[in-house]
């Protein structure tokens, strides 16, 4: 029986006040919060401090994708902020990811590095248009293998890809899974989705919840509902 995944709530909101309200509200049930490009662009490192001030941990999801030296320096800065986990893009290649790993290790408490593979809104037609061969799970496994070789701790992938990633890279290689849906959300752009129980059953380590919590009338109730479904 795989261990239960931990929930990460994506703070996909526009202002510091909204982020703080959510962290305060959800903190009794959630330890891990994701700070992505929207909130980080709006608030900068303050977004990270909000979570830390409430005793939470930060998954900094800025998907660094650049030349190796730039990514190395960006990871060094992120590590200084005390984030627990952060993303780099696997398409940057082994050299870029390797430099990210080395930069993380210069920190007294190195963040875990997670590789972004194929964003969960992409399906086969869009992949082909972008020149990416094969079916989504094949591309994800290919990129996960690269990430594993470069020394990353895990990857972001969709629920249906978790089992193949674990089989290829081993049970300790982390899978962080967005696109979690128990029911439809408004204006959904995600394509490769899965429900909490099937993601957990496949061995997911972390489930990322954005709109299912943010759009709920009762966000804390929505989180508790997912936790209940996992037990």
Cβ proximity to ligand C5P: between 102 and 220 the closer is 220
Contact set with ligand C5P (CB under 6 A): 10, 12, 36, 61, 116, 119-120, 156, 178-179, 190, 208-212
Torsion angle in degrees (nearest 10) through CA of 153, 59, 33, 224: -20
Cα 105 to Cα 17, 49, 182, distances in angstroms: 33, 22, 38
Nearer to ligand C5P, 107 or 197 (CB): 197
- Quote the DSSP letter at residue 202: H
Distance in Å, CB of 188 to ligand C5P, minimum: 7
Task: Provide, rounded to whole angstroms, the least separation between the CB of residue 189 and ligand C5P.
Answer: 7
Phi, psi of 33 (to 5 degrees): -125, 140
Dihedral (Cα; 64, 68, 73, 74), 10-degree rounding: 0
CA 214, 193, 36: angle at the middle one, nearest 5? 45
Place of tokens 């909490």: 196
Minimum gap (Å) between residue 63 Cβ and ligand C5P: 7
Task: Between 107 and 195, name the residue whose CB sits nearer to ligand C5P.
Answer: 195
Residue 63 among the catalytic residues: yes
Nearer to ligand C5P, 107 or 139 (CB): 139
Helix (H) or strand (E) holding 186: none
Residues 63, 99, 153, 166: which is the catalytic one?
63
- Rounded least distance, CB 28 to ligand C5P, Å: 21
Cβ(213)–Cβ(9) below 8 Å: yes
Minimum CB–partner distance for residue 170 and ligand C5P (Å): 21
Q: Given the complex with ligand C5P, which of 68 and 179 has the nearer CB atom?
A: 179
Backbone angles phi, psi at 207, to 5 degrees: -110, 130
- CA-to-CA distance for 222 and 118, rounded, in angstroms? 27
**CA-to-CA distance for 33 and 62, rounded, in angstroms?**
13
Which positions are catalytic?
Answer: 63
């Amino acid at each position: 029986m795989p261990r239960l995944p931990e929930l990460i709530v994506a703070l996909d909101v526009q202002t510091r006040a909204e982020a703080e309200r959510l962290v305060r509200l959800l903190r009794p049930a959630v330890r891990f919060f994701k700070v992505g490009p929207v909130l980080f662009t709006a608030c900068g490192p303050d977004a990270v401090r909000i979570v830390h001030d409430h005793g939470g941990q930060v998954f900094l999801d800025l998907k660094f994708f650049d030349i190796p030296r730039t990514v190395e320096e960006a990871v060094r800065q992120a590590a200084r902020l005390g984030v627990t986990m952060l993303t780099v893009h696997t398409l940057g290649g082994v050299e870029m990811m390797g430099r990210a790993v080395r930069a993380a290790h210069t920190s007294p408490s190195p963040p875990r590095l997670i590789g972004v593979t194929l964003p969960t809104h992409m399906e086969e037609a869009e992949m082909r248009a972008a020149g990416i061969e094969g079916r989504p799970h094949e591309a994800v496994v290919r990129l996960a293998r690269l990430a594993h070789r470069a020394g990353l701790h895990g990857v972001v992938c969709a629920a249906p890809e978790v089992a193949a990633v674990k089989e290829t890279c081993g049970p300790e290689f982390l899978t962080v899974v967005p696109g979690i849906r128990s029911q439809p959300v408004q204006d959904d752009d995600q394509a490769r989705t899965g429900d909490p129980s099937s993601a957990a059953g496949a061995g997911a380590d972390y489930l990322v919840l954005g709109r299912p919590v943010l759009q709920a009338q009762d966000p804390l109730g929505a989180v508790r509902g997912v936790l209940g479904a996992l037990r």
